Amino acid sequence: MCLKHRECDFTTEFQCANHNCIDKSMLCDLKDDCGDESDERGCHKAKSCSVEDNGGCEHSCHNVTGGGYICVCNKGYIISRSNPKICDDIDECATFGHNCSQVCTNLKGSYMCSCLEGFTPVDPQRSICKADSPLVVLIASGDDITAVNVTGRNHQVEVVRRERRIDSLDYDINSRIVYWADGADRVIKRSFIPDGSDVQIGHAQNLNIPIGDSARPTSISVDWVSEVLYFIEADKQGAKGKTRIVATTLDGRYKRSVVTGALENPTSLALNPATGNILFSSSYQ
């Protein structure tokens, strides 16, 4: 299964290993016209090749205008750097020469697409994957949070409303609970996302996490793997050394400092639970 490319005019053009087309006069001119060196690798200046001897090339050969010939590989292969007559497999997954939306597996001369757990392929090539469960986007608009099902007919469910000022939010995919930082009340709250049937609106629960007198919670992020809540506790007066990144359990207990010291106005926070990394951006003044 390969990407769709323009078919070369084989009477006048040469098809590169990356599927680009160049004029045959550009072969073996000591210039990388293809962009992957496939028009220069495998060049043999002396003699010519024939159907009978194939020039000693592993796959096939083309005679070059002006003398000599070039070894050419089948689709999915490229001439080896170490031997100008041998063809090496192209790893399309490593070179992004594929159209897989999620998982790419390299094969000899080709590749295969597949989907992650929780997704189903929607095309014969398995290159496009669709989530098995509805894809929901959470939108905060000042004092309300709305859940929008973007895979259905744009169905919307109100999560919470009439809060003070929602500065940041994140979502625990395991428990369907949304967490948010209220900058006006200087608290962190959470709520179940209603399913739109029996429960029509969520209930805001204050986690009662102690916040410093001159600080407020800004950006928050949920590690749904280790079940830890991280947030930036920003000093309102901009005092150096007082802004920090802290962590608690998902119910707000056991608050601990994670990153302290020389934090220069951190503005947003994100996590990579798979690698255990904390990422944050800063606004320098």
Neighbours of 204 (CB within 10 A): 18
Yes or no: say if 32 and 39 are a contact pair by the CB < 8 Å rule. yes
Could you tell me the pLDDT band of residue 136, with boundaries at 50, 70 and 90? confident
Q: Spell out the domain ranges in the chain.
A: 13-88, 93-131, 136-282
CA angle 205-210-211, nearest 5°?
A: 105
CB atoms within 10 A of CB 25: 14
Q: Are strands 119-121 and 110-114 parallel, antiparallel or unpaired?
A: unpaired
**Threshold 0.75, pTM exceeds:** no
Query: Do the first three CATH levels of 93-131 and 136-282 match, i.e. the same topology?
Result: no
Query: What pLDDT score was predicted for residue 89?
Result: 95
CATH of 13-88, one of 3.40.50.1220, 2.10.25.10, 3.90.1150.10, 2.160.20.10: 2.10.25.10
| Residue 211 amino acid letter | I
Asked if 218 and 234 touch (Cβ cutoff 8 Å), the reply is yes
Cβ atoms of 84 and 43 closer than 8 Å: yes
pLDDT by residue (tens digit) across 43-84? 998 889 998 889 999 999 999 988 899 999 998 999 999 999
Please identify, in words, the CATH class of the domain defined by 136-282. mainly beta
Residue 121 token pair: 């392929």
Q: List CB contacts of 16: < 8 A, sequence separation 6 or more.
A: 22, 34, 35, 36, 38, 39
Write out the DSSP string of 18-63: TS-EEEGGGTTSSS--SSSSTTTTTEE-SS---TTTGGG-SSEEEE
Residue 156: alpha-carbon gap to chain centroid: 27
Contact 209, 237 (CB under 8 A): no
pLDDT per residue as tens digits for the range 96-128: 778 888 999 999 999 999 998 888 898 887 888
CATH class of the region 93-131: mainly beta
